[in-house]
A and B are shown apart, each in its own frame.
Chain A
Amino acid sequence: MSTNTPDGPAIELVGLSKRFGRTLVLDHLSLQIPRGSTFGLLGPNGAGKTTTIKILMGMLAPTAGAARVLGMDALAERLRISQVVGYVPENHHIYRWMRIEEVIGFCRSLYRSWNDETCREMLDLFALDPRKKVKHLSKGMLVKLSLLLAVSHEPEVLVLDEPLAGLDPIAREEFLDGVLRTICERGRTVLFSSHTLDDVRRLADTVGILCNGQLMLHGNLDNLLTTTKRLRATLVDGRRPQALPAGTIYERLDGREWLLTVREFSPEKVEQVRGQSGVEHVEVLDIGLEDLFKDFVKGQRAAK
């Protein structure tokens, strides 16, 4: 049964696992994305981002756990979900022999809530020629057409899988423009996976880092960045002290320089590092999203 309450999460994963043969791709993944938020799903290649999205779109069955979109079960109610979700997949399956106007006509017949005005607006914004055949479109135009088809039925939730990969700067800007117009409409929820950290920083208000099939870091992007700091300590004899402050996600020793990336930073943590024998000087540095992401993934790999 669907439990589509207006204040429930737009997307919900509960203990989601997915196994392909002997490989466990998702390992008890749990996540809630509130309505109206824009969630950026980050993770190294093979972390399970596309698998998560395919399960949400009802294209893959989970091995265990559940995935819900607007309170509906992703697998059992996938047809109802497809009416209220716009999906831009990693690879675009659009009939190559059709003209753009034919593809639009075809999709229009599939959705009760198709909005000709939105469609027209997006055609203009993206400068797409309706007479053009899909097989003659560049990669950038194809991605834009895919977004046009995903938003013209006024979906409540928009799901984008690596949407900006391989786009030139102009196509990227136009695509972002189209996504932002959709986000600006009240209450729209967006889930997108990406490697382009600059774009994640621009678009997302919440991020999650997927690593080894689990969601490792999850929260408001600005809060994560302001509460994570890098400590740079100079060691007298280049020997690393034993104790690490709580919340250390990555550390590296380079000669006499000791770098630590620490979550939930507090001045006490600096004192803790400074108080250890052999530590001469400690400096606190700010960290950007790219370094946070890299340190996090490297730290996870080192722990493995």
Chain B
Amino acid sequence: MKIDPRSHLPIYLQIAEGIRAAVAAGVYRPGEALPSLRTMAIQLQVNPNTVQRAYDELDREGLIYCQRGKGLFVAEQGTSAAQASACDTVRKSLEEAVKSARAAGLDPERLRELFEAAVDGASQTRSHQS
């Protein structure tokens, strides 16, 4: 996970996003413990209060849960919740892309071509890797 201190995006949201992505990808699995506040703060080089805020956010979303005295764990439905949220993020960035395409005067047909080329390009790279 990488933090970008220059981004306008609050760091706690960057951390929450990073953990969601890690859960969606199976880096942390349901029932497994997340790194402690201290470990995460030192590893990411950010204030522990900021990590706490990210954990609170994910707790509210039901992605993780807190067990008193034991730490934080990925919830049973964590993986699907993280994937749903990843879906949401992708939709938002697509909407942004569509908005800038419209501002630049691209017609919908051209936009669809671009989108399909991007999807094909990505799946080709994937089959090369496997």
Interface on A for B, CB 8 Å cutoff? 36-38, 173, 176-177, 180-181, 183-184, 197-199, 201-205, 222, 225-226, 286-290
Contacts and interface: CB of A to CB of B under 8 A. Distances in A.
Interface of B: 3, 5-12, 37-38, 41-42, 45-50
A205 B5 CA distance: 13
B96 to A, nearest CB: 12
Which of A37, A286, A288 is the most central at the interface, judged by chain B CB atoms within 10 Å of its CB? A288
A184 B43 CA distance: 12
Contact of A205 (B6, B38, B45, B47): B47
Given A222-B10, A222-B12, A225-B8, A205 B50 contact: yes
Contacts of A173: 45
Contacts of B12: 222
A38 B10 contact: no
B40 to A, nearest CB: 10
A184 B41 contact: yes
Contacts of B10: 222, 225-226
Contacts of A38: 47, 49
Contacts, number: 58
Which of B3, B9, B45, B47 is the most central at the interface, judged by chain A CB atoms within 10 Å of its CB? B47
B15 to A, nearest CB: 11
A198 B5 contact: yes
A288 B45 contact: no
A290 B5 CA distance: 10
Main secondary structure of the interface of A (DSSP, over half): helix
Contacts of B9: 286
B46 A202 contact: yes
A198 B38 contact: no
Which of A37, A177, A180, A289 is the most central at the interface, judged by chain B CB atoms within 10 Å of its CB? A180
Nearest to A203: B47
A198 to B, nearest CB: 4
A222 B47 CA distance: 12
5 contacts: A37-B49, A183-B47, A205-B49, A288-B8, A289-B5
Given A38-B47, A198-B6, A289-B6, 15 more contacts: A180-B41, A181-B42, A183-B48, A184-B37, A199-B5, A202-B3, A202-B45, A203-B46, A204-B47, A205-B49, A205-B50, A222-B12, A225-B8, A286-B8, A290-B6
B100 to A, nearest CB: 11
Contacts of B11: 201-202, 222
A181 B46 CA distance: 11
B103 to A, nearest CB: 9
Nearest to B41: A180
A132 to B, nearest CB: 26
A20 to B, nearest CB: 34
Contacts of B45: 173, 176-177, 180, 202
A286 B49 CA distance: 23
Which of A36, A38, A201 is the most central at the interface, judged by chain B CB atoms within 10 Å of its CB? A201
Contacts of A201: 5-6, 11
Nearest to B51: A184
B6 A202 contact: no
Contacts of A222: 10-12
Contact of B42 (A180, A225, A226, A290): A180
Contacts of B47: 38, 180, 183, 202-205
A293 to B, nearest CB: 12
B129 to A, nearest CB: 31
Given A201-B11, A202-B11, A222-B12, A180 B48 contact: yes
B92 to A, nearest CB: 14
Instruction: Give the 10 A-B CB pairs with smallest separation, nearest first.
Output: A286-B8, A222-B10, A201-B5, A198-B5, A184-B38, A205-B49, A202-B46, A288-B8, A288-B6, A180-B42
